[in-house]
Amino acid sequence: MLFQTFFSLFLAKGLNIYKDSHHINNISKSFGLKLGIFNTISMIGSISALNYVSYPVQALMKSSKILSVLLVTLIIGGKKHNKMDFFCAGFITIGILIFNLLVLFFYFFSLNTTNSL
């Protein structure tokens, strides 16, 4: 998480230097600081919340994030996505779901075979 924070800091600084050199309007430094603080709190909260759910649920929720972003930008943002975007997002989510179900199946299968010996 520390690496991600510093990477984001340096990337934002580089973008601000680029925007300043091209005379693109910037947000105020205080607003940018507030956004950074809220982003850091959000990351800490999401990492803390992951301690209370199993790994398969974590993987499934992270993979279905693609679908939720597509739907929210469609409903709230009004952005139009093509069918290929939804197909790819659905395909990835279904793949992760199948993978997690197979992992659970083989886990329970291995428990049943070792207990019967």
| First vs last C-alpha separation in the chain | 44
Q: Indicate if 115 and 83 belong to the same structural domain.
A: yes
For the chain, give the mean pLDDT.
78
Q: Indicate if 66 and 108 belong to the same structural domain.
A: yes
What angle (nearest 5°) sits at the alpha carbon of residue 105, between those of residues 47 and 88? Answer: 60
Q: Indicate if 48 and 59 belong to the same structural domain.
A: no
Domain that residue 74 falls in: 54-117
Q: Indicate if 15 and 38 belong to the same structural domain.
A: yes
Burial class (CB in 10 A: 0-12, 13-18, 19+), 64: middle
Q: How many helices (H) and strands (E) does the chain have?
A: 4, 0
Which of 38-42, 59-63, 68-72 shows the lowest mean pLDDT across its residues?
A: 59-63
Q: How many domains is the chain built from?
A: 2
Residue 53 per-residue DSSP state: S
Q: Indicate if 58 and 115 belong to the same structural domain.
A: yes
Q: Is the pTM of this model over 0.85?
A: no
What are the pLDDT digits (tens) for 13-53?
Answer: 887 777 777 666 667 778 878 888 888 888 888 888 888 88
User: What phi and psi values does residue 76 have, to the nearest 5 degrees?
Assistant: -85, -45
pLDDT for the residue numbered 68: 79
What angle (nearest 5°) sits at the alpha carbon of residue 100, between those of residues 56 and 91? Answer: 115
List the one residue out of 73, 60, 66 whose CA is nearest residue 89: 66
pLDDT for the residue numbered 107: 77
Q: Indicate if 31 and 58 belong to the same structural domain.
A: no
Task: Determine the Cα–Cα distance for residues 69 and 89; give it in Å rounded to an integer.
Answer: 10
Q: Indicate if 36 and 4 belong to the same structural domain.
A: yes
User: Quick one: pLDDT band at residue 65, thresholds 50, 70, 90?
Assistant: confident
Q: Indicate if 113 and 70 belong to the same structural domain.
A: yes
